[in-house]
Structures are given as C-alpha cells and as structure tokens.
Amino acid sequence: MGFEDLEPIFGQPKAEWSAPNSTPLRPLLFHVHALDPSRLRVLVTDFHSNTYEAVRSVQHLEDM
C-alpha cells in the first residue's frame, strides 16, 4: 500500500462540539496530500488562530 496515485483532497468538515457549548465553532478547511509514496500530510485550519498539521506514514496509518 502506498500513496503514489493519491490525488490531493480538499474539503470542509462539519465539526460539532461533543458537549453543548456556547462558543460556536469556526469553519474548518482541510488539505490532505502525499509527501511521497509512504507519507501522507494532513493540514487543517480555521484561518484565524488554529492550524493543525500531521504527517503519517503508511505503517502508522495501518497501526491505527
């Protein structure tokens, strides 16, 4: 298994609080793409103050 043919993915997840909260969530955008045949990069941002980045290998994803 590898990411040789993976096309970049862009999207907007529909996030919700797990418990009721008065603060509304900002819209999020994500981008997923292959760095190389064995690593995947995930970026998520609200374009304000929160940005998340993760790089995961094929082995790490299989272990999840």
The three-state secondary structure class of 54 is strand
**What would the 3-class secondary structure string for 9-60 be?**
EEECCCCCCCCCCCCCCCCCEEEEEEEECCEEEEEEECCCCCEEEEEEEHHH
In this prediction, residues 55-62 reach a mean pLDDT of: 92
Residues 6-29: tens digit of each pLDDT: 999 999 988 778 888 778 788 899
β-pair partners for 42? 32, 54
Distance CA 50, CA 39 (A): 23
Question: What pLDDT shows up at residue 36?
Answer: 94
